[in-house]
A = this chain, B = another copy of it.
Amino acid sequence: MDQSVGIVTTEYATFDVELPLESGRLLGSPLTLAYETYGCLNSSRSNAILVTHAWTGDAHAAGKHTPDDRKPGWWDDMIGPGKVLDTDRYFIVCSNVIGSCGGSTGPTSINPRTNRPYRLNFPVIMVRDMVRAQKLLIDHLGLDSLLTVIGGSMGAMQALEWGVLYPETVRSIIPIAGTGRTSPMAIALNALARQAIFNDPLWKKGNYKPEHPPAEGLALGRAVGHISFLSDASMNLKFGRRFSARDGMFDFFGQFEVERYLEYNGRNFIDRFDTNAFLYLAKALDLYDVAWDFANREEALSRIDCPSLWFAFSSDWLYPPQQSEEMVTLLKKLDKPVEYHLIDSDYGHDSFLIEPEKFTPLISAFLDRLATS
């Protein structure tokens, strides 16, 4: 497997702590984080990079778990020998966020107080809580410095929170397709996804059996998200107005190709994601505001003590470029070293997954400058 990190294994770190959450509740003990690492830590422990994932991502960012895996990890284009996050040079860590369902403590985990799955007894968490949990892992791995924290979408929010919360640890942050606070449009879209699930009688207020999830509701909720990750241009390129070849155009249930694709994608999603985790993460996205618990955004951003590199995509209408630009403007006003690139891409919010070649050279140059500074 050329340029691949090869076969990798998800590891688990379990902490005997009760993590204080922004809500005032405690999470744990135990608190488990699933994570993967790629590459080797150097002797000066100065080459660690934390990769943070988006809504439905997980710890498996690169390589394969078995040679037969159909697909590699979600950012395999970015991580590996000779790639921008070069495993010959860097030690890469990616951990599944709390609240998710990829091995870290989330609504499917056992609530130690009841010995039953949390389900809706899981506390509402914020992105800041995810980052606090990650800090436990980074400490556990003996990393007192991170060369960078890099991620797209919800991953960008985590990168930003790392800069604000742990300025003594991070030497740079790279938020891609991010935002300083979720807009009402993005919240409204998440509300549709939520309602699609709430409307499914199988959801049972979160008490569905794992083998009988609210499949229709989750598939529709995913489809809402999916549309917001794409763009008019990318859908035109991929589907245009083609009508499904097997349907009659005047059949009431006849589908356009775009429609069939969304349905197919939504149904695949059911097998790989837990419905309650999907809802908890949607909530965390909605609640995201870097100014949370600070007087304002300036006060939050003034804590950042490292260079930041921002990317936004021209066709991203979920977190449009303007939202990154607001943050960049504020950082400049605060005299923070900041670099921003608006990348011309037709692939909407998902551009960070689909066209990395458009921004990886800029990341390589940035990391090279950091390493020599």
A residues at B contact (CB < 8 Å) = 22-25, 120, 123-124, 181-185, 187-189, 191-192, 195-196, 199-201, 216-217, 220, 223-224, 227, 230-232, 235-236, 238-241, 249-252, 254-256, 258-259, 262-263, 279, 283, 286-287, 289, 317, 320
A184-B236, A192-B224 given as contacts; is B241 within 8 A of A289 (CB)?
Answer: yes
Task: Contact check, B191 vs A258: say whether CB atoms are below 8 A apart.
Answer: yes
Task: Contact check, B256 vs A183: say whether CB atoms are below 8 A apart.
Answer: no
Q: Tell me how far the C-beta of A27 lies from the nearest C-beta in chain B, rounded to whole angstroms.
A: 12
Residue of B nearest to A240 (CB): B184
A181 surroundings in chain B (CB, below 8 A)? 241
A199-B196, A220-B196 given as contacts; is B183 within 8 A of A232 (CB)?
Answer: yes
Task: Contact check, B184 vs A199: say whether CB atoms are below 8 A apart.
Answer: no
Task: Contact check, A232 vs B199: say whether CB atoms are below 8 A apart.
Answer: no
**Out of B23, B184, B192, B320, which one reaches A220, CB within 8 Å?**
B192
A263 surroundings in chain B (CB, below 8 A)? 191, 195
Bound together, the chains give a CA A183 to CA B184 distance in angstroms of: 24
Q: Tell me how far the C-beta of A213 lies from the nearest C-beta in chain B, rounded to whole angstroms.
A: 14
**Out of B188, B195, B287, which one reaches A235, CB within 8 Å?**
B188
A23-B250, A195-B220, A216-B199 given as contacts; is B227 within 8 A of A188 (CB)?
Answer: yes
A196-B199, A199-B196, A220-B195 given as contacts; is B287 within 8 A of A188 (CB)?
Answer: no
Bound together, the chains give a CA A188 to CA B181 distance in angstroms of: 26
Task: Contact check, A258 vs B188: say whether CB atoms are below 8 A apart.
Answer: yes
What are 21 A-B residue pairs whose CB atoms fall within 8 Å in the complex? Answer: A22-B250, A120-B252, A182-B241, A183-B235, A184-B236, A185-B230, A187-B241, A187-B256, A188-B258, A188-B262, A189-B227, A191-B223, A191-B259, A192-B220, A192-B224, A195-B263, A199-B199, A199-B200, A232-B320, A249-B287, A252-B283
A184-B258, A286-B256 given as contacts; is B235 within 8 A of A217 (CB)?
Answer: no
A317 surroundings in chain B (CB, below 8 A)? 232, 317
Given contacts A23-B250, A188-B262, 12 further A-B contacts (CB under 8 A): A22-B250, A183-B236, A183-B241, A185-B232, A187-B256, A187-B258, A187-B259, A188-B235, A191-B258, A191-B259, A192-B224, A195-B220
A283 surroundings in chain B (CB, below 8 A)? 252
Interface centre among A183, A227, A252 (most CB of B within 10 A): A252
A124 surroundings in chain B (CB, below 8 A)? 249-252, 254
Bound together, the chains give a CA A317 to CA B185 distance in angstroms of: 12
Bound together, the chains give a CA A306 to CA B188 distance in angstroms of: 42
A201 surroundings in chain B (CB, below 8 A)? 201
A251 surroundings in chain B (CB, below 8 A)? 124
A254 surroundings in chain B (CB, below 8 A)? 124
Q: What are the 4 tightest A-B residue pairs by CB atom distance, in nearest-first order?
A: A23-B250, A184-B235, A191-B259, A184-B258
